[in-house]
Amino acid sequence: MPPAGRSPSGAVWLDRSVPLARLRRAPGAGRFGSAPASSQGGTLIVVGIDGHKNTHTLVAVDPLGKRLAVLTVAARPVDHLKALAWLHGYGPVLVAVEDCRHLTRWFEADLLNSGHAVVRVHPRLMAGARRSARERGKSDPIDAEAVARVALREPDLPKACLDGPSRDIKLLVDHRRTLVAQRTAIGNKLRWFLHELDPELAVASRGLRRLCVLDQLAHALMQHRGTLAAIAAELVANFRTKTEALRLLRRRISDRVFRALLADQADLDQPPS
């Protein structure tokens, strides 16, 4: 006996005893798909932003990740107003920005001051979203759409906020780290030059950080002639300049941190409104 669903001749037959349900178009949907973005029924629209030095590309997607619209504006404060007016047409939106704050810092501030919720997307999270995109290749709209899809996929992305004292402290700390690296490179080269000039000019570990030791080295190098001695004397002067700058920078960082702690303590001491 042939298995169910097959005729004796082996051909597959369809059971037409159950009537097929008629497919109806969703209310408000156009001929070629969903309703316009302005009538999405209150669903939250996500806008991804791909920021660059000269332009910002914005792509709006619906909760299913379908691209709704694209806008490219110049990375200038005047053109930021055009982007804000464009976003206003969608109502409340979630704005996802690729985490390149050196390129989008001013735009993020304008978005936050306008009342938009802004989250940051790390570039490494965009790889999977870009591979699953419906459009091949790489372009600013594709990257902005990938940013928006990551925001749909990841619910716990870091939220953007306006710069405060922490921004100033980070700038000072990063600048200090750069100066330390530069001073270390100068000190390493100086030690080899001193050994080549005179092995007796060896300096103890961390001895170069003392200004009196640098003064002694500068005086000793005046007794030598030649290009090597001239370069070593210049390195001593540069090392002293970096050391003095680092001492001043350390005081600036301590003062800035102290003032930030006082401000936080004052906010905690205020009674709740």
Q: Can you tell me the distance from the alpha carbon of 234 to that of 228, in angstroms, rounded to the nearest whole number?
A: 10
From first to last of the 273 residues of the chain, give the pLDDT tens digit.
Answer: 555 545 455 544 444 444 444 434 434 333 323 333 443 445 689 999 999 999 999 999 999 888 999 999 999 989 999 999 999 988 889 999 998 888 888 899 899 988 899 999 988 887 666 666 566 667 889 889 999 999 998 888 988 887 778 888 989 999 999 999 999 999 999 999 999 998 888 888 888 989 999 999 999 999 999 999 999 999 999 999 999 999 999 999 999 999 888 877 776 666 665
Beta bridge partners of 111: none
How many CA atoms, within 13 angstroms, populate the side-chain half-sphere of residue 189?
Answer: 15
Q: What is the pTM of this model?
A: 0.60
Estimate the share of the chain in helix, then strand, then coil, as percent rounded to the nearest 5.
55, 15, 35
**Burial readout 108-143 (b: 16 or more C-beta within 10 A, e: otherwise):** bbebbeeebebbbbeeebbeebbeebeeeeeebbbb
How many CA atoms, within 13 angstroms, populate the side-chain half-sphere of residue 8?
Answer: 1
Element spanning 67, H or E = strand 67-74
Residue 134 confidence (pLDDT)? 60
Q: DSSP letter string over 106-155?
A: HHHHHHHHTT-EEEEE-GGGHHHHHHT-SS-S--HHHHHHHHHHHHHH-T
**Matching residue, tokens 């306008």:** 114
